[in-house]
A = this chain, B = another copy of it.
Amino acid sequence: MSIEAILEKIDADQPAALERLFELLRIQSVSTDPAYADHCVAAADWLVNDLKSLGFEAERRDTPGHPMVVAHGGEGGPHFLFYGHYDVQPVDPVNLWDSPPFEPVLKDTPNGKVISARGANDDKGQLMTFLEALRAWFAVNGKLPCRLTIFLEGEEETGSPSLVPFMKENAGELTADLAMICDTAMWDRETPAISTMLRGMVGVQVTVHAADRDLHSGMYGGAAINPIRVLNRILSDMHDDDGRVTLDGFYDGVHDIPDEVKAQWDGLNFSTEDFLGEVGLSVPAGETGYTALEQTWARPTAEVNGIWGGYTGEGFKTVLPAEAHAKVTFRLVGDQDPDAVVAAFKAHVEASLPADCSASFVEKNGAKATVLPVDATEFTKAHAALSDEWPKPAVFAGCGGSIPIAGLFHEILGMDSLMIGFGQSDDALHSPNEKYDLASFHKGARSWARVLAALT
């Protein structure tokens, strides 16, 4: 089997590959908003059809939420499972997009051409790199490289409520020797990365209730408790002046960064100035005593992702609202227990409530942090294969984001995950003007072809 022939096929097939990705990007598969449920089904169907064209037996598998896509193909050799997600984040504020989020276009930038659209990176562009590698392999060799299971979900951006039940019910079908995941970033434009530490995450929405109706701030102001003020105080008290989270027991299970890891990270030439400067910031805002890299890779966080209450329209309305709300998520590291963190947050809220106030909560599925075996054979071989494709050798990296699936694969199916992704730090994930470098899309497919060749 000649890897060169496959790489040439990928190169030759680029225009068609891009058109396929654009088709997928045009489907408005926003998972968090029920209004887009039909679009999620359409994205799943599109992927089922595409997988069938690669020789897979592929099916849309409906769930109480958005459907899964499961496909089986190939034979012999090791058995790999590839995971990706076809759902995307909401597009608001839509007025900040330079072009419509669901009308993908190529744009010229100082760093080369980029694909601009919601999901261009996360995760449609990334997952298609794997499928394009398989397509070329299938075209050149008439078969897939080994036994493969493809497992794509549509609820990743909304806490994956259907995932665990589905995995448990179909554990036999989904268990492979190793999972492959394409949902992470490169170290920089020349240096590919294998992610080996991922923060976990858990979320909770809190509502503070006060009076049984909205009140006039003239008639009641001064005597009636304002739930926005109560919520401000609760959230403000969640951090001390050193940026540490004050919740009881929050740091249980958080380990110091080992000296050898610290040394490896120091060798990465990470530029805090560039990392923060790219988004208009300059000073690491987390716990004092840690670098920005440590703050995002190895330290846990408590962040308010949304807050609302009272009158938020044009002009002023002198109201004391009956309720105030916030969405809070925690990034977790080491052995932090998501349930314990949520319990500590709730306890903090309850302990902070003044007379006449109560609180209610909505929880988001949590996932622990994940640490992977960088010295296993597959990781070593994949590292070498990536280093062949890109100008600089691959690095083993941490990752501030949560990819709960990697933890669940370990916990439920006993599989480790090989996480390779081709995102860049300026891809504007979850933001207006999300993009994916055209080079990431093209060389991403070539990278997967090389990794599959090395492991089969």
Contacts and interface: CB of A to CB of B under 8 A. Distances in A.
Given A92-B313, A329-B318, A281 B201 contact: no
Interface stretch (A19-27, A103-111, A138-146, A303-311): A303-311
Contacts of A282: 355-356
Contact of A306 (B157, B309, B400): B309
Contacts of A283: 225, 354-356
Interface in A1-38: 31-34
Nearest to A159: B316
Interface string A278-303: 01111111110000100110011101
Interface in A408-434: 425, 428-433
A315 B33 CA distance: 7
Interface string A304-345: 111111111111111111001111010100000000000000
A90 interface: yes
A209 to B, nearest CB: 9
Could you say how many copies of this chain the assembly holds? Answer: 2
Interface in A345-373: 354-356, 364
Contact of A307 (B211, B220, B228): B228
A326 B329 CA distance: 21
Given A229-B239, A232-B235, A281-B210, A311 B306 contact: yes
Contact of A303 (B229, B239, B286, B433): B229
24 contacts: A89-B317, A201-B318, A211-B280, A213-B279, A213-B280, A215-B279, A217-B303, A218-B331, A218-B401, A218-B402, A219-B296, A222-B296, A226-B304, A229-B235, A232-B232, A232-B235, A232-B304, A303-B320, A305-B310, A305-B321, A306-B319, A306-B321, A317-B327, A318-B430
Interface of A: 31-34, 89-90, 92, 96, 157-159, 185, 199, 201, 203, 205, 210-226, 228-229, 231-233, 235-237, 239, 272, 275-276, 279-287, 292, 295-296, 299-301, 303-321, 324-327, 329, 331, 354-356, 364, 399-402, 425, 428-433
